[in-house]
Amino acid sequence: MRMGEGVEWGIHCCMTIGQLERIGESPVSTARLAERFGLPQQYLKKRLQALVRAGILASVPGAAGGFDLARRPEQITLMDVVAAVEGVEYAFRCAEIRQHGVDATKGRFARPCGVSVAMRRAELAWRRELARQTIADLMAAAPPEPKRS
């Protein structure tokens, strides 16, 4: 199992945008973010669009455009960013293979699949922990952003 790198990009970009917004340098263009992190500019933009659709970032078109935080950093959790980039589906998808076999006697599987329940419980713990941390928390722990070069 592997999480796309877009998650790391999204979180760091949200943090940077929040920090730059605080010192009045917003909106922030993808060019600046890409330079800041050494990332492919076009692809980064594509990924940030997903955050816009999810209502985490707000895009500002035009000459001095860029991206702003759509909500206050305290109200953006890591879970929000992960869901926006990776999707809201569960990583474990129960295909109900227990009913596909020849022994799938009627009524044997009325109860929900125990495997699915166990896996979902673990993922819920994961999501709960992600939802506990906000962008603001990470901003507070990160080193301050230097002025524009």
Partner DNA sequence: GTCAATTTACTCGGATAGAGTGTGTCCGAGTGGCGAAGG
Partner DNA sequence: CCTTCGCCACTCGGACACACTCTATCCGAGTAAATTGAC
Using CB under 8 A, list all residues that contact a copy of itself: 1-5, 7-9, 11-12, 15, 35-39, 78, 82, 86-87, 89, 91-95, 97-98, 100-103, 105, 108-109, 111, 114-115, 118-119, 121-123, 125-130, 133, 137-138, 141-143, 146, 149
Element (H, E) at 69: strand 66-69
Residue in 23, 37, 55, 65 binding DNA, rule: CB under 7 A: 65
Please report how close the Cβ of residue 24 comes to DNA at its closest, in angstroms.
14
Q: Does residue 116 belong to the site contacting DNA (CB under 7 A)? A: no
Dist. CA 124–CA 131, nearest whole Å: 10
By C-alpha distance, which of 23, 24, 3, 35 is closest to 13? Answer: 35
Beta bridge partners of 77: 134
Q: Residue 144 CB, nearest distance to a copy of itself (Å)?
A: 9
The reply on whether position 115 binds DNA by CB under 7 A is no
CA-nearest of 13, 9, 6, 40 to 27 is 13
Residues 6+ apart with CB under 8 A from 14: 51, 56, 57, 69, 73, 76, 81, 135
At closest approach, how far in Å is the CB of 18 from DNA?
16
Asked if 88 touches DNA (CB under 7 A), the answer is no
Token pair in block for residue 116: 């699915």
Structure tokens that stand for 8 in this block:
């790391």
In the complex, the residues that contact DNA under the rule CB under 7 A are: 1-2, 4-6, 27, 29-31, 40, 42-43, 45-46, 48-49, 52, 59-67, 86
